[in-house]
Amino acid sequence: MKLSEIARKLELKAVGQSDLESKDITGVYVSDMVSDIIANAKAGNLLVTIQIHNNVIAAANLVDISGILVTQGKQPTEDVVKMAEKAAIPILSTELNGWQVMTKLYEAGVR
């Protein structure tokens, strides 16, 4: 499923300059621990997290994450957004919490 379709279905907001049309999501990984993301997330996953610091972008880039969805209305700083843009990792945000996001992703057909 395209990241743009997920963004539309869940009414997510893009943060910064993001190319949502070219990103395919092959699964979802939920974690707030950088070491866990590196060890267990898969290439093509949508990462759902509350973390908004540079290390999350670095971990997502290492694993080849297709996008990051930040929950609970958190907003990354400009330097984090620029780092994500340089790595071509779209960041999306939502006011929803992790449980609500995962429920909506499941209802949208993302596994």
CATH of the domain at 99: 3.40.1390.20
Q: Let me know: does 28 contact 102? Beta carbons within 8 Å.
A: yes
The model's pTM? 0.95
Residue 86 structural domain = 3-107
Number of domains in the chain: 1
Which residues of the chain carry a pLDDT beneath 70?
A: none
**pLDDT value at position 18?**
81
What is the distance between the alpha carbons of residues 33 and 21, in angstroms, rounded to a whole number?
A: 28
What is the distance between the alpha carbons of residues 16 and 94, in angstroms, rounded to a whole number?
A: 14
**pLDDT value at position 111?**
78
Q: In the sheet that 13-15 helps form, which strands lie side by side, from edge to edge?
A: 13-15, 91-93, 67-70, 45-49, 27-30
